Structure 1
Amino acid sequence: MPVVRFDVMWPDATVMKCQSPSTVIRNFLHEGQLVSLPEFLKISELGLSAASERVREKYGFACSAAIDQLEIILAKATDFQGWEAAVVQVIRMD
């Protein structure tokens, strides 16, 4: 399956390099997209879960890398608890 790499800019302007094991993530995230932190977490969970499921459909097992990526995103998001109006931007997808 083709891997999709994407970079996100967190509310503190740090950039995180991420990846999805499936192009299905493009149905959820788009380059230039700017969303609230809670919405980004929701979208990331939906997109990476869908990507993991695509792997399951093709190979018979879920993709642990997609779940690991989601856990990394969720862990980083804890840095911004209490930030009002925190937003995340998808700055690159390829």
Structure 2
Amino acid sequence: MPETYWTVRWPDGAEERLYSPSSVVAEIFTPGETYPVADFLARARIAMERASDRVARRYGFACSSAMAQLDAIEARIAAMDEAPGARIACLAISQ
């Protein structure tokens, strides 16, 4: 269950490195692809929940870091002044 980081570009042009305790993000996001904001959020929720579940299966407790990353993503998106057609780019995924 390798820790994985992925870099995204938000609609405002800012880039951010995000964290996952599992490589599951590589199953859900593709480097070089852009996603409508709602689709990105849905994928992020799935990725972080699956990552936390993998940690729980292995160690017996959910991953608070995965859930904290999801909270940060949700907060960032909630604070955005979303323009119609706004997209979030997945720039890179690394372990």
Runs of 4+ in 1 over 4 A off after TM superposition: none
Q: Counterpart in 2 of 1:89?
A: 89
Q: Counterpart in 2 of 1:12?
A: 12
Give the superposition deviation at 1:79. Answer: 2.7
- Distance in 2 between the 1:59 and 1:92 partners? 28
Deviations 1:36-68 (A, max 9, x none): 000000000001100000000000000000000
Percent identity, aligned pairs only?
31
- Distance in 2 between the 1:9 and 1:16 partners? 7
User: Taking structure 1 as the reference length, what is the TM-score of the superposition?
Assistant: 0.94
User: Taking structure 2 as the reference length, what is the TM-score of the superposition?
Assistant: 0.93
Unaligned runs of 5+ in 2: none
Unaligned runs of 5+ in 1: none
How many correspondences in the alignment? Answer: 94
Give the superposition deviation at 1:81. Answer: 4.2
Alignment RMSD (CA, Å): 1.0
Q: Counterpart in 1 of 2:80?
A: 80
